[in-house]
Amino acid sequence: MSVSVPSCIDDKRGSTILTMAVTLGNIQSRLPILRVQCPRCDRYGKYRVATLIEKHGADYKLAELAGELAKGCDRIPPDAFARCSPYFPDLVEWHRDRA
């Protein structure tokens, strides 16, 4: 079985953007632990990918997971312009190593 590997582009601000959806199933064999960080609220943590798959399924997109985590942020007031913006540093590092 072949697994699609996401490609990246750089936006005008110098940020790297994944150009296709990455799912929990895509990273399961490569990253048993998924680290999460947010540069805006300084929240960070780790999740076992197997546990996330049990809860959400292998087809659950990391973008959806990031959105769910952002909704639960209590460090930024709900009326603030800037909102929580979690990302997955291991995924970025893994992709850069492959390039």
Contact assessment for residue 50 and residue 32, using Cβ atoms and an 8 Å cutoff: yes
Percent of the chain, pLDDT > 90? 32
Helix (H), strand (E) at residue 34: strand 33-37
**Tens-digit pLDDT profile for residues 64-80:** 998 888 887 777 666 66
Q: Which three-class secondary structure state does DSSP give residue 41?
A: coil
pLDDT at 14 over 70: no
> Domain extents for the chain?
8-98
The Cα 11–Cα 60 span in angstroms is: 25
Which range among 31-40, 49-58, 88-97 shows the weakest confidence by mean pLDDT? 88-97
- Are the beta carbons of 54 and 39 closer than 8 angstroms? no
Instruction: Give CA–CA dist 20/8, Å, rounded.
Output: 8
- Main-chain phi, psi angles of 67, to 5 degrees: -65, -40
pLDDT beyond 80 at 61: yes
Predicted TM-score (pTM) above 0.95: no
> With bands split at pLDDT 50, 70 and 90, how would you rate the model's confidence at 11?
very low
